[in-house]
Amino acid sequence: MDRDLKKDFKEIVKVASPKERIWMFGFLEAIVEEGYTEPPNNTDSGKDVPAKKESEAAIEAKKAITQKQTQSSNNGASQAASSASKTDSSYISMATLVAPDQNKSNVAVLQKTGSESIKTATIVFGTETGNSKKLASVLQNRLKAIGVKAKVSSTNQYNPKDLDKEELLLTIISTHGDGDPPEAARKFHESLKNRKESLPKLKYSVLALGDTSYPLFCKAGEDVDVFLDRLQATRILNIAMCDVDYEATADEWMDAICNLLSSGIAISNNQGSQENQESSSHSISRNNGNGAHLADDKGDAKLQNGTSKSTARKFHLGTITKSIDLTDAAASKIIRHIEIETEEEIDYLPGDSAGFIPKNDPKEVSAILRGLRLNSEDSITWRKETLSIQTLLEEKASIRYLSKRVMDSLEAITRKKLPNARLDLIDIVQNYPPHDSISKESILEILEPITPRYYSISSSPEAQGKNSIHLTVAEVDFKTAQGKTQKGFCSDYLFELMEGSSVNFRIQKNDNFRIPAPDANAIYIGPGTGIAPFRSFLFERDSLGHTGKNWLFFGNRNFSYDFLYQTELLEFFDSGVLTKFNTAFSRDNSKKVYVQDRIRENGKELVEWLDAGAILYICGSKEPMSYDVDKTLIEIFMKEKNLKKSEAEQFLSNLIDTERYKKDVY
């Protein structure tokens, strides 16, 4: 007896997970392409009518469906009924995922029918370096071009209460540090995490930006995706996860969004469920070749595939040509000026950073090898790469300040209770040695990669040339959980490199932190090594002949020991490049004075500059420095503009949202 394949298929879809729907959809496409039609209803015709010969794809599909039905029947009728209640029988939800090695997009799309098409969308972006904002602008223009009314909002400005009124929410968000959202997206992230009221009418999709050098790749975007799913919002397109060469993947995601909305395929509500949570694993995460590039800086065109202009993954080989102390021998810590030259030109701008992957101390590596009784020349396969254990521990694996994820795994492997602290691998090997029966290679296999450490570039391509970058690096000393003093991993690595040494680095773009327009005035707040990008700004503006005024607030501990770039800055002041220059040396007097105190003293004039259109910049320590400066600015706005505290806070927030207050804090 012939089977009604279409009916069977729809029944199976009701109880299948999104992962299982991938192969289902593949079979369905094959059947349609090869001309399969449903067998006629012989009982209605009163006579036997031979059915059309089935294709091989149809036969295979029937076998797979029959097997799936057998498996599903074992789950019980109640589960099937429950699953069916979550799926509208008026449509079939299908997900497609093309393997990255094929010459096709690997966009994972949910196509649904059975309701009115979407007319409005809100694009919310959370960014640290400006990439998410740029993409939000591109997407907005592309949606407008297909007749969708789209508005853009930063996560800092977006009111979470508006979620109840949204038709479609498209979130573009980056991830920083150990899986953290950008500073400006923290409140948005928390509001979604803590929200209790469901959002059954909301439809959404997420574009996540990150760096696969870090273990929690695109974690902030994944969080938003999970939070919205938990709130029963409908995911119309699976999360797209971008590496640092983000353009190609972002372009695919935008193509899928626009195609979905412009094709007339409507998007029905599908209550958030475990199915949706599972479907989030089918993600756009491909970066083919060298990626792609933005067609222009205005955001009025789509992302164009083609030859990449991206340098995000490109490592430069440089030579240390100068490494000198900027601080006096009596200073409380060393701050060093380092110059690196390359044979090829470096594509960077003032405001960008240089990233380095430091190497582990060979002595520490030798101690680990002895403790684990491993041969340094033995090979090991680690993250799909085969290399010697010596190379792994010296150049690839992170063995310092192990993450909680690694600590938990080590505790499970060694079967020993480890302290609730981030230890170094050498501490575990020496103080909590694994039993001889435990594979020592298994310990190495769970180690995470060394992640790049970034430093603000303190040189100007116009003034110092495009074959050189300068860094301003501070010595770092800290106490570990075991009470031992330890030096900063990357700063110590750079300090140990002698003049003439080779070093690899890559450039991290920061379009959110650029020099102002030629005639614009700027105020810079840069204590300590926070002076680095502003040294770059001043050299660049001077070389380009900018007419805008510059005002610098600089601070450190002692005038005599820690006045970084003193000669250069005073020359800038004497020549008029620096219009105003205020310093704060906290240890020169019995009462400590910081940059925020100098800002407060000059509050009236600072407000006048801002009211006249000046742009405010800050670079340096996030906590407490940047927080203290923000508090001081709010106090100044309250006093000089006669505002209530809430109004002053809003004024500060507006400066950030209109790109009049730019931050590079860490």
Ranges 85-99, 115-129, 138-152, 639-653: which has the least confidence: 85-99
DSSP annotation of 616 reads: E
Give the C-alpha separation, 79 to 448, whole Å.
40
**Vertex 133, ends 537 and 155: CA angle to 5°?**
110
Give mean pLDDT, residues 630-652: 97
Q: How confident is the model at residue 85 (pLDDT cuts 50, 70, 90)?
A: very low
Residue 88 has pLDDT above 70, yes or no: no
Residue found by looking up tokens 């005035």 in the block:
521
**Vertex 433, ends 431 and 435: CA angle to 5°?**
155
Residue 162 has pLDDT above 50, yes or no: yes
pLDDT of 102-139, one tens digit each? Answer: 333 333 344 443 445 788 999 999 998 889 999 999 99
pLDDT for 184 equals 86
Handedness of CA 136, 137, 142, 146 (dihedral sign): positive
pLDDT of 411-462, one tens digit each? Answer: 998 888 999 888 999 999 999 998 888 899 999 999 999 989 999 999 999 9
Residue 89 has pLDDT above 90, yes or no: no
pLDDT of 238-267, one tens digit each? Answer: 999 998 888 889 999 999 999 989 875 444
Mean pLDDT of the chain: 81
Give the C-alpha separation, 474 to 492, whole Å.
9
Residue found by looking up tokens 């030579």 in the block:
319
Give the C-alpha separation, 209 to 188, whole Å.
16
Q: How confident is the model at residue 483 (pLDDT cuts 50, 70, 90)?
A: confident
What is the b/e burial string over 459-482, where b = at least 16 CB atoms within 10 angstroms of the residue's CB?
bbbbbbeeebbbbbbbbeeeeeee
Give the C-alpha separation, 269 to 350, whole Å.
47
Q: Which residues contact 209 (CB under 8 A, 6 or more apart)?
A: 131, 132, 135, 172, 173, 174, 175, 218, 221, 242, 246, 250
Residue 101 has pLDDT above 60, yes or no: no
Give mean pLDDT, residues 288-310: 31
DSSP annotation of 519 reads: T
Residue 628 has pLDDT above 60, yes or no: yes
Residue 275 has pLDDT above 80, yes or no: no
Cα distances (Å, whole numbers) of residue 427 to 372, 376, 400, 422, 540? 12, 19, 9, 10, 47
pLDDT of 396-416, one tens digit each? Answer: 999 999 998 999 999 998 888
Residue 325 has pLDDT above 50, yes or no: yes
Give the C-alpha separation, 99 to 546, whole Å.
50
φ, ψ for residue 442 (rounded to 5)?
-65, -30
Better pLDDT: 478 or 33: 478
How would you classify the pairing of strands 485-487 and 303-305? Answer: unpaired
Instruction: Assess contact for 5 and 65: CB atoms under 8 A.
Output: yes
Better pLDDT: 36 or 401: 401
Residue 270 has pLDDT above 60, yes or no: no
Collapsing DSSP states into helix, strand and coil, what is residue 562?
A: helix
Percent of the chain with pLDDT over 90: 63
pLDDT for 349 equals 98
Q: How confident is the model at residue 272 (pLDDT cuts 50, 70, 90)?
A: very low
Q: Where are the beta strands (DSSP E) in 445-508?
A: 453-456, 468-474, 477-479, 485-487, 502-508
Q: Mind spelling out the 3-state secondary structure of 197-216? A: CCCCCCEEEEEEECCCCCCC
Locate 205 and state its tokens.
């999709």
**CB count in 10 Å sphere of residue 307:** 11
Q: How confident is the model at residue 13 (pLDDT cuts 50, 70, 90)?
A: low
Which pTM value belongs to this model?
A: 0.71
Give mean pLDDT, residues 551-580: 97
Q: Which residues contact 513 (CB under 8 A, 6 or more apart)?
A: 129, 130, 351, 533, 617, 619, 662, 663, 664
pLDDT for 9 equals 57
Give the C-alpha separation, 576 to 502, whole Å.
38
Handedness of CA 233, 239, 244, 247 (dihedral sign): negative
Q: How confident is the model at residue 208 (pLDDT cuts 50, 70, 90)?
A: very high
Ranges 196-200, 284-288, 448-452, 655-659: which has the least confidence: 284-288
Better pLDDT: 283 or 117: 117
Ranges 421-425, 584-588, 642-646: which has the least confidence: 421-425
pLDDT for 287 equals 36
Give mean pLDDT, residues 145-151: 93
Q: Mind spelling out the 3-state secondary structure of 284-323? A: ECCCCCCCEEECCCCCCCCEEECCCCCCCCCEEEEEEEEE
**CB count in 10 Å sphere of residue 361:** 18
How would you classify the pairing of strands 550-556 and 580-585? Answer: parallel
Largest CA distance in the chain: 106
Give mean pLDDT, residues 76-94: 32
